[in-house]
A and B are shown apart, each in its own frame.
Chain A
């Protein structure tokens, strides 16, 4: 089973850190597309839903796109494995919780996936570490072209690519950048970023996008306007304006902390390291908070004995489904907290 293999290794795209990775965790672009001649998913019959899945499935694999792809029928994926896919950002929670024929095609390196019969017939996404929007656009545009060579998309001369929700119509593009902003959180300036983002018609969300709260030190910034602007214009704004200014802002906050509050900063970083290294039971929320401080400490050069790769991998494997997969059995919340603490201690060479 492919998910079995997935959960045993960190996401390959996360391995290669990518540009600006001290602040930018990852970049993602997704395109919403629908097949012409079929209703949207809220009005399809079960039969049409099955036809769509079969039709799309035959055009989102290796033959059409190139490379190695695996298709998963979500109904055939167990509950825990579904959660592994969500934790790896390969599918949305919505897809796993829906009913009816639906699936996902996943590229071998996990940098691309195509959800089938989610809110739209197709949701294509490409994901990479750090800020890499240009190469992501190049790749997703190519994948989209290859699928389009074989499938007629619903397209309107005025409104462009038609989507089930009119908020996605036009380009159907959503550009999302995942940011790590512990400095701004500590200096209390994070609200300024949120306000500026709102003024630019951008959405700020939590780690798993739509419907997740922006808590902790991780934030996902994404565009909301999809009509009346070209894909390149939307991407350019992120690449040249939005992200560089937030990254600069975060750098300034870190510099300020490093100069004026260095004792408080170091105290926080080393305390977090202490907790992670010695805790006997720890929740995922507390782990995320401490890993965040550690990540900042490593990126600021305040702590040198830990490899950033170890920390990045831990963000992934301390999540509930990954933890249970590694453990080989289902665990209660309390058991997970114990297993999580053990796993972290072992990664930091401390048993």
Chain B
């Protein structure tokens, strides 16, 4: 015979719990599945975790899983990362941001660990930055020229630096 659940008094009790208190008193509980779970007596069944998330947890850190990388695509040109891996060619300038996480390690590997451009900057894009960039370059070049005892060249560089600084 099925006893009804002591809490909801509707569903049949399937979990039978006998507790004995420290002073020897015996206490019985008869609960249904649902109420046993809400009481925390039996564990809740695991909810569905996406595979990629589990993989990501396994791989750890902020790294993307192979699957997430495969799913990447550019909102602008619609290129997928898999297509890029097959051809080695990107589809549009936006790809550099859309694929940033997957692309950054590849770029660093191809460029001896570097990840930032320090060379020429388009003049009209950012005039102050370009001038600053020129100054950094010229000063470095000046140091090198002095080290190499190329004094005539060094003097020319010094003049160029002054011109930029005073402009």
Contact = CB atoms under 8 A, between A and B. Distances in A.
Query: Are these two chains actual partners, yes or no?
Result: yes
Interface of A: 34, 36, 38-43, 119, 141, 144-145, 148-149, 152-156, 158-162, 164-167, 169-171, 173, 201, 224-232, 236, 240
Given A164-B90, A229-B114, 14 more contacts: A40-B77, A43-B77, A144-B120, A148-B124, A152-B122, A156-B93, A165-B89, A169-B96, A170-B114, A228-B112, A228-B113, A229-B118, A230-B118, A232-B141
B108 to A, nearest CB: 9
B156 interface: no
Contacts of A149: 123-124
A148 B127 CA distance: 13
Contact of B96 (A159, A229, A230): A159
A158 B78 CA distance: 23
B79 interface: yes
Contacts of B90: 40, 42, 164-166
Contact of A227 (B91, B115, B120, B137): B115
Interface in B113-133: 113-125
A159 B119 CA distance: 10
Q: In this complex, which of A42, A141, A155 has the most chain B Cβ atoms within 10 angstroms of its Cβ?
A: A42
Q: Is the interface of A mostly helix, strand, loop or mixed?
A: loop
Given A155-B125, A156-B96, A228 B110 contact: no
B86 to A, nearest CB: 11
A143 B77 CA distance: 30
B144 interface: yes
10 contacts: A40-B93, A42-B87, A159-B96, A159-B107, A160-B117, A161-B120, A164-B89, A225-B112, A227-B117, A228-B115
A155 B111 contact: no
Interface residues of B, number: 36
B137 A232 contact: yes
A236 B144 contact: yes
List 9 tightest A-B contacts by C-beta distance, closest first.
A228-B114, A160-B117, A43-B91, A39-B92, A227-B111, A171-B119, A154-B93, A43-B77, A170-B117
B88 interface: yes
B106 interface: yes
B119 A170 contact: yes
A146 to B, nearest CB: 11
